[in-house]
Amino acid sequence: MLLSRAMIRAAALAGLLAAAACSAPAAPTEPSAPAPPPEPAAPPPPPDPAAIGANELGDVPVLMYHRITPDPSSVYDRTPEDFRAELERLADEDYVPVTATEYATGKIDIPAGKHPVVLTFDDGSASQFTLDSSGEPAPGTAIRILLSVAEAHPDFRPTATLYVFDPPFEEPGGHRTLTWLHEHGFEIGNHTVDHPNLGNVSATEAQREIAGMQRVINEALPDVPVNSMALPLGVHPDAEALASSGSADGVSYRHSSVMLVGSNPAPSPFSSDFDPANIPRIRSQGPEGEGADYGSTKWLDKLAADPDSRYTSDGDPTKVSAPQAASTEPAPHVGNLHRY
Ligand SMILES: [Zn+2]
């Protein structure tokens, strides 16, 4: 659970009161006993969903990054400065990162009034993540920048889902890199072994590509489930369901989310529009250039200008809150919908 600022303040206040109680002089006739430890402050109840405009049927931006490089060579690359500026913007606009799997399975446990965002990285490049000689994320890499922004914005949880092919982050086997990421709360997703266009290969080959990459990941991370995949080039196998589940060479896979390439915010996982096998993503991009109307700067502008369209948490992971006026229909499986 994430602590809200109010909870942290309440805990600090409880600590102060306990300290004040400890400093009162003991009654002279009684032996002094050690003070009992202070009771932990009970978390305050979540605020009224209406007061914070909670809308858990609203849209979620799933942002797609590729290389983070000082020398961008395509519209998919971002500079470290632009990447940092985008994360700062997300933090300032009350977004909190969740993983692809947390989003897709509706486990969006973020404070009331905050908006989930999913940060996804494709292709496992060294510009996204490299460990330096001391075993820390190397300066200038995406993960190092994300950690530094999160340090300055305590509500901005440093997590992301990284879709890797073989070898992950240019490390044969990926043992060091994948282990570090997993141990620090990042999710590893499947991006196939060789990054083929899955629309151009046989059903058998498509399953080999996906199952084979899961094998590589699980050789580095035994027993860590691989729950999400990003389609290379955004293209499904001809038999679309093979992106969600299949098997080859003794390895079975099952994904609770399959990511597309482009080009708009994703529906709430509680919406009837949610399709876990086709989750749209938004390419990280500045306000100008080819396709900028579908890039992250323009979409974040639109979401900011139309806050009713955006997913806003009620702070209570056990129920789904939405205004009566929300036009989005809930998915049939959502039983605990609270309309206000
Ligand atoms: Zn790719």
C-alpha of residue 139 to centroid of ligand 1, in Å: 23
pLDDT at 75 exceeding the cut of 50: yes
Helical H segments across the chain, by residue range: 5-23, 49-52, 80-92, 100-104, 142-152, 175-183, 203-220, 296-305
Question: What distance in angstroms lies between residue 233's CA and the mean position of ligand 1's atoms?
Answer: 6
Q: How many angstroms separate the CA atoms of 235 and 188, rounded? A: 20
Stated pTM of the model: 0.87
31 has pLDDT over 60 = no
Task: Provide mean pLDDT across the span 186-195.
Answer: 98
pLDDT for residue 17: 41
Of the candidate ranges 14-23, 26-35, 80-89, 305-314, the one whose mean pLDDT is the lowest: 14-23
267 or 6, higher pLDDT: 267
**Which of 41-50, 108-117, 147-156 shows the lowest per-residue confidence on average (mean pLDDT)?**
41-50
For the residues 18-22, what does the mean pLDDT come to?
A: 42
Average pLDDT over residues 154-169: 98
Residue with tokens 């602590």, as numbered in its chain: 3
What does the pLDDT average to over 280-299?
96
Task: Please give the distance, rounded to the nearest whole angstrom, from the Cα atom of residue 146 to the centre of ligand 1.
Answer: 21
In the predicted structure, residue 172 carries a pLDDT above the cut 60 = yes
- Tens of pLDDT, residue by residue over 254-271, are 999 999 998 899 999 999
Q: Can you tell me the mean pLDDT for 274-285?
A: 98
How far does residue 196's CA lie from ligand 1's centre (Å)? 9
Instruction: For residue 194, report the distance from its CA to the centre of ligand 1, in Å.
Output: 10
For 239-250, the pLDDT digits (tens) are 999 999 999 999
Averaged pLDDT, 294-310: 97
Structure tokens at 22: 């400890």
Q: How many helices (H) and strands (E) does the chain have?
A: 8, 12
- Alpha helices of 70-159 — where are they, by DSSP H? 80-92, 100-104, 142-152
Distance (Å, whole) CA 40 – CA 73? 53
Does residue 127 carry a pLDDT above 80? yes
Q: What is the pLDDT of residue 327?
A: 85
Range from 46-50, 198-202, 236-240 carrying the lowest mean pLDDT: 46-50
DSSP β-bridge partners for residue 258:
229
172 alpha carbon – ligand 1 mean position (Å): 18
Classify residue 53 as exposed, middle or buried by CB count within 10 Å of its CB (0-12, 13-18, 19+): middle
Q: How far is the CA of 90 from the centre of ligand 1 (A)?
A: 24
pLDDT higher for 36 or 154?
A: 154
Ligand 1 ion: Cβ-proximal residues, 5 Å cutoff: 122-123, 232
Q: Which residues pair with 282 in a beta bridge?
A: 63
Is a pLDDT exceeding 60 seen at residue 26? no
Average pLDDT across the chain, whole number? 91
Token code pair at residue 144: 């190092």
Determine the 3-state secondary structure of 229 from DSSP: strand
Asked whether the predicted pLDDT for residue 331 surpasses 70, the reply is yes
* pLDDT over threshold 80, residue 19: no
**50 C-alpha vs ligand 1 centroid, how far in Å?**
41
Inter-residue contact 290 to 38 (CB < 8 Å): no
pLDDT surpassing 70 at residue 222: yes
- Output the pLDDT for position 214: 98
Asked if 313 and 47 touch (Cβ cutoff 8 Å), the reply is no
Question: How close is the Cα of 34 to the center of ligand 1, in Å?
Answer: 61
First to last CA, the chain: 25
More confident residue, 93 or 38: 93
Tokens linked to 215: 């094998």
Task: Name all contacts of 196-202 with Cβ < 8 Å and 24+ positions apart.
Answer: 196/232, 197/232, 197/233, 197/235, 198/231, 198/232, 198/235, 198/236, 198/237, 198/243, 199/235, 199/236, 199/237, 199/238, 201/237
In sequence order, the β-bridge partners of residue 95 are 115
**Tokens of residue 51, six digits:** 């007061």
Is the pLDDT score of 28 beyond 90?
no
Q: Is the pLDDT of residue 287 over 90?
A: yes
